[in-house]
Structure 1
């Protein structure tokens, strides 16, 4: 991540998630982001850790269309925090990298920590940091859609 700090130091506490540098930089780059990416990145709930539409704590559920020009990545809610799932559709994909790359094609990267969307000559780059690895997608644009989730099975 270029601006989002996944290991900030606050007083004596280390390992703090801090998107503040990105949020400070976002107004100066928002106009350079494609429309869908701009809408998702600048949504006030996106980096609000108390919001039900914050990406933090979502779980990667599925990656569809990897290697193609059109892709979808589906994230599952965490019933303790979210009441919606997130589906991101990527158009004009020019690059898709999973780090670390899994030999058997699985994408079990675990829970989302945070993400960062930046302008790119091909449209935008979207880096998604999870506890077990990172997804990076470069595309012409993306469309993020929150959909109702079933949280009736909370224990």
Structure 2
């Protein structure tokens, strides 16, 4: 990620969205509408308090279309101690999707979100990077829609 800090450091994770939040007023107008709405949501980076913060959500499922429509859906389950809802992110016009495993944290049963960052691309789309405890996800797409869904 370019601005958001989410790194493993001496046996713990260090996360800090401060630099990204400082750039977001400049970057936001160049993001597609759905991505802009998600990135600028007031609770998105409120690590200490918001139930709508992405931190600590757990990656549950990845749905990739096979019909070349460029669709992709990532489902995240809520952290029982923090979130009231899970999160579904639906991407349209996907041109790149990857999951890269970086760490080996065998004491965690699921990959949890550390933080994410959405940046505009020159073609009018965006690049969404999600740092997980054991991996990172990168999606380049035309736009995305993020919907918080009740956990039932």
Q: TM-score, structure 1 length as denominator?
A: 0.84
Q: State the 4+ residue runs in structure 1 displaced beyond 4 angstroms.
A: none
1:124 aligns with 2:126: yes
Give the total of aligned pairs.
140
Question: In the alignment, which residue of structure 2 is the partner of 1:58?
Answer: 57
Q: Could you give the per-residue CA deviations for residues 29-50 of structure 1, whole angstroms, max 9, x where no partner exists?
A: 1000000000000001000011
Question: In the alignment, which residue of structure 2 is the partner of 1:88?
Answer: 89
- Name stretches of at least 5 consecutive residues in structure 1 with no aligned partner: 102-107, 151-155
Q: Could you give the per-residue CA deviations for residues 44-77 of structure 1, whole angstroms, max 9, x where no partner exists?
A: 1000011001000000000001674001000000
**SS of residue matched to 1:6:** strand
Within-5 A mapping of 1:9-24: 15-24=13-22
**SS of residue matched to 1:21:** helix
- Name stretches of at least 5 consecutive residues in structure 2 with no aligned partner: 103-108
Question: In the alignment, which residue of structure 1 is the partner of 2:115?
Answer: 114
Q: In terms of mean alpha carbon deviation, does 15-24 or 88-97 score higher? A: 15-24
Question: In the alignment, which residue of structure 2 is the partner of 1:140?
Answer: 142
Q: Cα offset for 1:79?
A: 1.3
Q: TM-score, structure 2 length as denominator?
A: 0.85
Q: Cα offset for 1:109?
A: 6.2
Distance 2:72 2:14 in 1: 31
2:29 counterpart (12, 31, 51): 31
